[in-house]
Amino acid sequence: MQTRPVIELAEIHKVYRTGEVDVHAVRGVSLDILPGEFVAIMGSSGSGKSTLMNMIGCLDRPTGGKYLLDGIDVSTLDRDQRAVIRNDKIGFIFQGFNLLSRTTAQENVEMPMLYNRHRVSAQEQKERARSSLELVGLGKRADHKPNQLSGGQQQRVAIARALVNKPSLLLADEPTGNLDSQTSIEIMGVFQKLNEAGITIVMVTHELDVARFTKRMVVLRDGKIVTDELVRDRMDAAVELGKLKAAQEAVKLA
Amino acid sequence: MKLFAPFKIAGRALRRNKMRSLLTMLGIIIGVGSVIASVSITTGATKQVEDKVASLGQNVVTVFSGNFTSGGMRGGWGSAPTLTIEDARAIKNEVGNVVAVSPEVRDREQILANGLNWNTQIQGESPDYPQIRDWDIASGSMFTDGDVRSLGKVAVIGKTVVDQLYGSDDPVGQTLVIRNIPFKVVGVLAAKGFNLFGQDQDDVVLIPYTSHMRRITKRTFVNSIMVQAASKDTINLVQNDINTLLRDRHKSAEPDFTVRSQLELMQMATATTRIMSVLLGAIASVSLIVGGIGIMNIMLVSVTERTREIGIRMAVGARGRDILIQFLIEAVTLSLAGGMVGIALGMISAQIVAATTGWPTITPFAWIGIACVSSAGIGIVSGFYPAWKASRLDPIEALRYE
Ligand SMILES: Nc1ncnc2c1ncn2[C@@H]1O[C@H](COP(=O)(O)OP(=O)(O)O)[C@@H](O)[C@H]1O
Ligand SMILES: [Mg+2]
């Protein structure tokens, strides 16, 4: 018996109606993603990646087609129902980190639990946020505020926040877009570790280097899927990081 | 946690902009502060006036000779020769619910005692007078009906007269000379202080009204008649019945007398303070409205500034109502904190007024509650629109906001 896909997209369309012209950003995307997959959605700028991600993440609603998340038809849910789904099933990671400024890492990570349907005690909130931060290697930085953290560390806080409600799905829209190459590899290392632990990840990127850390590549062009294939020469972040370090050492030695 | 969390978020947001929060609260602080201060001052003043009116006696109805509204020469209350002892007697015998009556005759005289002299008010009264005025006899006793019938040369004197003429001696049994007629002091009234018009009520000598009219002033009319009704509820009834009775007795087209009850006096005396409090209240409400507008303004700014935060919260699962509640609580926290500070400042300024002017001030407990409830209400009303606007934001748009 086959496992049920986490994401089932069937002929998804999105048309933005902005005044005179309609922008047809996503034109009939059908895609199934199974639990435990690690998918990169690629494409040039304006190809509809973010639009698709926002719909997968229940931030937005498709104008056509059907979307089942964990078997639930979410394409017809209203604002509040989508908020509940986001809280319960989805962890979102953004290019610009989107942490609350002047708020500690710990409190940033606790934040999604404030909106849980089922009450979480203050004590449990603390513990869960803590272990989530430890998972991304930031256990010692819990009391730091975003402006006291590097870009890579901020993105780790965002990942910890995305994980704290134990979602079925981790979504990331250009998570390495604001990071240098070494930090990007580190973040991909975190993703790979989480994926090995069984978490399904869908990630938007336009960098092929980054996409090669994933397991499956989906390429969009003008709102349509043009390629959908497994990553053949998959890279291991730990290995790549080792190589990079060695190269840096060499330069310094020279 | 779910209940408590919004307060935590609100508190944090407000602390982040301390100066701005404080300036926003200022409107409410001033509004509530002035409400509390003015209510304290007017309540104190009203209470003082009420105490004075109450010191007039118990359930008192007073009949004055003369009429306010009649034309021609008017000499004021008690000056027209229209009321007689027979009128007083008729009131006592014919009007129901009357428990005590005292015809009053007043005159100022130079009196002598102990080789000292003093100018004071000589009042002819009946033995009912202390009862009507709710006025205790400190030592000795009141003169009697027998003294009234026999034109007795007896006097009951006030505290001020005692101080002026007898010093620390006990005046009871001693002699007092009025217009060369020696009167025997039979009693001393308890100290009563100043009345509504600032007159010293203890500067008085009471003698039987008959003695006053025959021996001293040689008059056939009385200045006024004090009547005590059986209860507070019968005051109006007694007042009406006296009006009917005297009109019938005097058979004049225009009433040549005026009947005033203690209740009317109370209303007249507190009218000024009532107008004062209405005026002060109106000013205070204006500043509360201005304070509310200030909160609305700052909340709108805050919602715009924190669009991105709202987007983040929505992205992780905050529903519209979570955001609405968060901003509402923020607005209510602002206004309620302003209200609390305002209450404290209002009470302090009332105390300062009391200390510097000597006016008594009272802060009624109910008004503290009213101030709290209305400042919370202002927070809800003025915070609702900004909070609603925040709750309607589109998460994607909000996240993209720079
Ligand atoms: N809110 C919007 N209103 C109108 N058009 C939009 C909106 N968001 C995106 N678009 C348009 O949809 C297309 C796809 O955009 P997007 O999904 O952001 O692309 P990508 O993330 O791949 O760069 C673009 O042409 C963009 O201009
Ligand atoms: Mg994009």
Locate the domains of chain A by residue range: 38-54+89-253
**A216-220 average pLDDT score:** 96
Which whole number is the average pLDDT over B267-291?
82
Q: Are A39 and A215 in contact (CB under 8 A)?
A: yes
Gap between the Cα atoms of A136 and A122, Å rounded: 22
Q: What is the DSSP letter of A2?
A: P
Minimum mean pLDDT range among A78-87, B17-26, B63-72: B63-72
In this predicted structure, the answer to whether residue B173 has a pLDDT above a threshold of 80 is yes
Q: Please say whether the beta carbons of A144 and A89 come within 8 A.
A: no
| pLDDT value of residue A197 | 92
Mean pLDDT is lowest, of A157-171, A240-254, B86-100, B106-120, for A240-254
**Cα pseudo-dihedral A113, A115, A118, A119, rounded to 10:** 70
Which residues, in sequence order, are bridge partners of residue A155?
Answer: none
Selected residue with higher pLDDT from B55 and B109:
B109
For the cut 50, the answer to whether the pLDDT of residue A155 exceeds it is yes
Bridge-partner residues for A67, per DSSP?
Answer: A9
Nearest CA-CA partner of B256 in B92, B123, B70, B10: B70
Ligand index nearest the alpha carbon of residue A54: 1
To test the contact with chain B by mutation, choose from A26, A78, A115 the residue with the greatest count of B C-beta atoms within 10 A, namely A115
Task: Provide φ and ψ at A25, rounded to 5°.
Answer: -80, -35
Contacts 24+ apart (CB under 8 A), A72-81: A75/A12, A79/B319, A79/B320, A80/B319, A80/B320, A80/B321
Instruction: Please name the member of B309, B314, B318 whose beta carbon is closest to the beta carbon of A100.
Output: B309
Cβ of A18 less than 6 Å from ligand 1: yes
Q: What are phi and psi of A150, to 5 degrees?
A: -75, 170
For residue B5, pLDDT beyond 80: no
Ligand approaching nearest to the C-alpha of A177: 2
pLDDT of residue B257: 86
Closest CA to ligand 1's atom 24: A46
pLDDT of residue B76: 54
Is B16 within 8 Å of A111 when comparing Cβ atoms?
Answer: no
Interface test with B, best of A60, A77, A114, A165 (most B CBs within 10 A): A114
Question: Which pLDDT does position B199 carry in this prediction?
Answer: 83
Nearest CA distance, A215 vs chain B (angstrom)? 26
Residue A97 pLDDT grade (very low, low, confident, very high; cuts 50, 70, 90):
very high
Residue entry with tokens 């089922």:
A118
For residue B12, the chain A residues in CB contact (below 8 A) are: 103
Q: Which atom of ligand 1 is nearest to the CA of A43?
A: 22
A83 neighbourhood in chain B, CB within 8 Å: 314, 317-320
Ligand 1 atom 14: residue of nearest CA: A48
For a substitution probing ligand 1, which of A41, A50, A207 has the most ligand atoms within 8 Å of its CB?
A: A50
CA angle (A183 as vertex; A179, A188 as ends), nearest 5 = 100
Ligand 1 geometric centre to CA of A23 (Å): 8
- For atom 2 of ligand 1, the residue with the nearest CA is A16
Confidence check: pLDDT of B77 > 70: no
Closest CA to B195 of B60, B76, B44, B55: B55
Predicted pLDDT of residue B50: 81
* A75-79, A157-161, B17-21, B279-283: least confidently modelled range: B279-283
**Contact status of B16 with chain A (Cβ, < 8 Å):** yes
Dist CA A24 CA A222 (whole Å): 9
CB contact under 8 A, B1 and A125: yes
Does residue B248 or residue A229 have the better pLDDT?
A229
Q: Given this model, what pLDDT does residue A3 score? A: 82
CB distance from B316 to chain A under 8 Å? yes
Contact A121 B321 (CB under 8 A): no
Buried b or exposed e, range B333-357, using 16+ CB within 10 angstroms: bbbbbbbbbbbebbbebbeebbeee
Q: What is the pLDDT of residue B65?
A: 83
Size of interface A-B (CB pairs under 8 A): 64
The pLDDT value recorded for residue B78 is: 54
Average pLDDT in chain B = 88
How far away, in angstroms, is A34 Cα from ligand 1 center? 27
Please give the residue that has the higher pLDDT: either B117 or A201: A201
Distance CA B400, CA B315 (A): 12
B72: pLDDT confidence band, cut at 50, 70 and 90? very low
Q: Is A25 in the pocket of ligand 1 (CB under 6 A)?
A: yes
Strand partners, B340: none
Question: In chain B, what residues touch A92 (CB-CB under 8 Å)?
Answer: 315-316
Place of tokens 């006025």: B135
Ligand 1 lined by A205 (C-beta under 6 Å): no
**CA B207/CA B156 separation, integer angstroms:** 7
Q: What does the block give as tokens for A220?
A: 């969009």
Architecture in CATH for domain A38-54+89-253: 3-Layer(aba) Sandwich (3.40)
pLDDT tens, residue by residue, B152-169: 999 999 999 999 998 888
Q: Is the CB of A51 under 6 A from ligand 1?
A: yes
CA distance B93 to B7: 72
User: What local confidence, expressed as pLDDT, does residue A194 receive?
Assistant: 94
Average pLDDT over residues B374-401: 94
Q: What is the DSSP code string of A16-78?
A: EEETTEEEEEEEEEEEEE-TT-EEEEE--TTSSHHHHHHHHTTSS--SEEEEEETTEE-TT--
Choosing among B1, B7, B12, B18, which should be mutated to test the A contact, i.e. which has the most A CBs within 10 A?
Answer: B1
Q: Which atom of ligand 1 is nearest to the CA of A206?
A: 22
Is the confidence at residue B322, as pLDDT, over 90? yes
Query: Could you tell me what percentage of chain B is helix, strand and coil, using 3-state DSSP and rounding each to the nearest 5?
Result: 55, 20, 25
Which tokens is B240 given? 């009406």
Which atom of ligand 1 lies at the shortest distance from residue A48's CA? Answer: 17
Q: Does residue B385 register a pLDDT over 90? A: yes
Q: What is the dihedral of CA A238, A240, A241, A243, to 10 degrees?
A: 120
Chain-chain contact of A60 with B316 (C-beta, under 8 angstroms): no
pLDDT score of B167: 85
CA pair distance B349, B372, nearest whole angstrom: 18
Confidence of residue B9 (pLDDT cuts 50, 70, 90): confident
pLDDT of residue B67: 65
Nearest listed ligand to the Cα of residue A49: 1
**What share of chain B in percent tops pLDDT 90?**
54
Q: Are B339 and B292 in contact (CB under 8 A)?
A: no
User: Looking at residues A6-34, what average pLDDT do you find?
Assistant: 94
Does the CB of B401 have a partner CB in chain A at under 8 Å? Answer: no
